[in-house]
Amino acid sequence: MSNRKLITRLAAAVLAATMCIPAAAQEKFPLVQGDYWEVTGVDLKDGGALKYAEFIASEWKQNQEFAKSKGWVKDYKIFGNVHAREGEPDLYLVVIRENLVSGAENDKRGDEFQAWKKKTIAQMQAESGNRAEYRTILSEELLQELKIR
C-alpha cells in the first residue's frame, strides 16, 4: 500500500472516530455571550444632584419603562460611584438589552419613540442640551455580559 493511501485511510479513520465522540465530550469555550449593557458615566456639577435625580426619577424612568414595555430593553439600573476619584463619573446609568438591532429597526423604534413622546428631534436635543447646566456625560460604553457555562 502506498504512503498516500495509508495516510488517506488513517485520516478517514481519525475523522470517523471523532464523529463518534458524544457532543458532551467535545470541548466548549467556558464563557457564553449574554446581554448587552449600555453604560453612561455622568458627572454631576456642584449643586446639580437634586435636579438630575428628579430628571432620572421622572422622564428618564418613563423613557426606560416605555422601551421595556415594547421589549426593546430588558432592564435598567442606576449606580452611584461611592468613592469616585478625580475625573470619574458620579453616576452610571445602565440599560440592558438582549441584542443589538439593525439600522432599519433602530429607525423604526426612533419613530415610534418620537411619536410616543410627542416631540420633535430638535425639541429632544434641546432638552438634552439644557441638562448640561447640571451634568456632563463623561463616557458611554457598550459591554457584553459573559456568563460561565
Least confident of 54-58, 78-82, 122-126, 142-146: 122-126
Residues pairing with 31 in the sheet: 148
Residue ranges covered by each domain of the chain: 31-148
pLDDT (tens digit, 9 = 90+) per residue, 30-71? 999 999 999 999 999 999 999 999 999 999 999 999 999 999
Q: Tell me, yes or no, if the pTM score tops 0.85.
A: no
CATH 3.40.1390.30 is right for the domain spanning 31-148: no
Look at residue 125 and tell me whether its pLDDT is greater than 80.
Answer: yes
Output DSSP code: residue 21. Answer: S
Judge residue 89's burial from the number of C-beta atoms within 10 Å of its C-beta, 0-12 exposed, 13-18 middle, 19 or more buried: buried
